[in-house]
Structure 1
Amino acid sequence: METSNPVKIFLVDDDAFCLHVYQQHLTKLGYSNLSLFESGADCLHHLTENPDIIFLDHGMRELTGIDVLKKIKRFNPDIYVVFLSGQEHIETAVSALKYGAFDYIVKGELDLENMTKVLAKIAEVREMLRKNNPNSFRRFFSLI
């Protein structure tokens, strides 16, 4: 278990029980910089807080997960968005990936285990990007 992980994570789900379960799981893994939102609109209003990772429920009331995903990616394409869905529809998964989701997790018995695995994958990707392009952010911002 990690003692403190500086990664900022948003959890977005209109089911308060799911939010609580996911929050507890991530806290046990050592993630402490967590923000919880019960709607996609609330999440979108807080994007200026610069989350690194967003776990996003697909089936929400006012905006679908796909709608929220598109807006997140327009705001910042570098945010890792992981879809969570109670539905195992291949079309939904394909759409999520098409619009920039990093991964798609079906809610159920293995969702917490799959969250842990996808966080490890994201950490691996971030580390590879950092090693391959250590000054890319500095170079990019020096051009602005």
Structure 2
Amino acid sequence: MDKSKQLKIFVVDDEVFYLNILEQHIRNMGYENVTTFNNGTDCLNQITGKPDVVFLDYSMDTLTGYDVLKKIKRYDPNIYIVMISGQEDIKAAVDTLKHGAFDYIQKGDKAEEKIKHVLERILEVKALLKQSNPSFLRKFLQIL
């Protein structure tokens, strides 16, 4: 496996069909350490497993993705959370970004391409955070 693709990824969605499609897409990109959950509670119960990235459905029954986001960020603010939603809701996107989500992706035609792009950006940010050169901040801000 490509060392750059060694991310531990959690995928959380209460729509099992979409959950399986998303998992398979991420695995097809070369990421092998992918764990799925069909609700936020199960994800939170396993958060001590220290995922690098959590793809989190915004609209779930019982515990919403927004609530799960806030709990994960309280536990470990360094986990990259990517919200995924079936609806185009600017307010929801802004709110999740304000609470620490790395990105917000709308389910649809280009979602797979956007997921690939966001994983590449996360790898870039992680690599830059390991560096200690003066241009770090400039490069970091260009990625975001």
TM-score by length of 2: 0.88
1:121 counterpart letter in structure 2? R
Quote the Cα distance in structure 2 between the aligned partners of 1:4 and 1:16. Answer: 28
| Aligned residue pair count | 133
CA deviation vs aligned residue, 1:73-131 (integer Å, no higher than 9, x gap): 00000000000000111000001001100000000001100000000110111111011
CA RMSD of aligned residues (A): 1.6
Q: Please say if residues 4 and 30 of structure 1, whose CA atoms lie closer than 8 Å, have aligned partners that are also in contact.
A: no
TM-score (normalised: structure 1): 0.88
Does the alignment pair 1:58 with 2:43?
A: no
State the 1:4 CA deviation: 8.1
Could you tell me how far apart the structure 1 residues matched to 2:110 and 2:2 are?
A: 21
CA distance in 2, matches of 1:53, 1:24: 16
Match for residue 72 of structure 1? 72
5+ residue gaps, structure 2: 134-144
- Kept in 1, the 8 Å contact 2:4–2:123? The answer is no
**Alignment partner of 1:93 is 2:88:** no
Q: Structure 2 CA distance, aligned partners of 1:45 and 1:21?
A: 23
Identity of aligned residues (%): 50
> Does the residue aligned with 1:104 lie in a helix, a strand or coil?
strand
